[in-house]
Amino acid sequence: MAEPYFQFRQFRVYHYRDALKVGTDGVLLGAWAEVNDGEKVLDIGTGTGLIALMVSQRAKVRVDAIDISPAAVRLATENFARAPFSDLHASDCGLSDWLSGQYAQYDLLVCNPPYFTHAQPPADGALHLAKHTIGLDPATLFNEVKRLLRPSGRFSTIFPAQGQEEFFLEARRNGLEVLHLTAVHPLPERPAKRLLVTFVPRLVDMESNDTLILENEAGARGYTEAYKQLTGPYFLRF
């Protein structure tokens, strides 16, 4: 049986074995996060390596990618090896362990974090590791992010609009301010389901607060021009 994969314009992401598959949240964050040539990037909870690959397509950067799942790290490593980008490195490591062994700081941190803080975790072991907040609750995440960011650095992430208060509270507790926020709506008439947010470790006036609608009104089938413009550099269909 052929191994399942998702084909992007410049790279292919295999998502077999027990790691999470390519999903909308990861694609949104990978396409949305600002990245510049020469930066040092850390991808927290890399999974298949999708976000690391997406930022590497847009800029010449070094990316360290970490995940607590050894199987996910093996898969990300294989995806990196097949891609036309050279400076990607995956490690089987949790964020706390990574922090304890690091002395360098990063220009950009990206994370598509687990959301199942209060819900029943998945029964499958691999999904449990990938999706449940094991050692990566918002308080831990923001505390360790702050310590890994350069003073001029950025932390870009995506999380549910419902329950957002906990994320913003922990960010403020750790001295992180919102630089850019995009509310993601599935349809024009639906409330926001996700928030794309860039935090910075310094006082700052919010640069922008905007909205992204993924699909046209119900029954009209098709993605919005804004979504096509954001993901067009990656998706073959656009």
Q: Tell me, what's the pLDDT at 205?
A: 77
The residues near 123 (Cβ < 8 Å, ≥ 6 apart) are: none
What average pLDDT does the segment 166-179 reach? 95
Per-residue pLDDT at 118 exceeds 60: no
Burial 56-67 (b: 16+ CB within 10 A, else e): bbbbebbbbbbb
Per residue, what are the HEC states of 153-218? EEEEEEEECCCHHHHHHHHHHCCCEEEEEEEEECCCCCCCCEEEEEEECCCCCCCEEEEEECECCC
As a CATH number, domain 5-231 is: 3.40.50.150
Query: In the chain, what are the domain boundaries?
Result: 5-231
| Residue tagged 């993924």 (tokens) | 214
Q: Tell me, what's the pLDDT at 136?
A: 72
Q: Which residues pair with 230 in a beta bridge?
A: none
Task: Please calculate the CA angle 206-212-214 and round it to the nearest 5 degrees.
Answer: 160
Question: In terms of pLDDT, which residue wins out, 142 or 136?
Answer: 142
The span from the CA of 75 to the CA of 95, in Å, is: 19
At 157, is the pLDDT very low, low, confident or very high (cuts 50, 70, 90)? Answer: very high
Q: Which of 19-33, 34-48, 113-127, 194-208 has the highest mean pLDDT?
A: 34-48
Given the DSSP bridges, would you call strands 62-67 and 40-44 parallel, antiparallel or unpaired? parallel
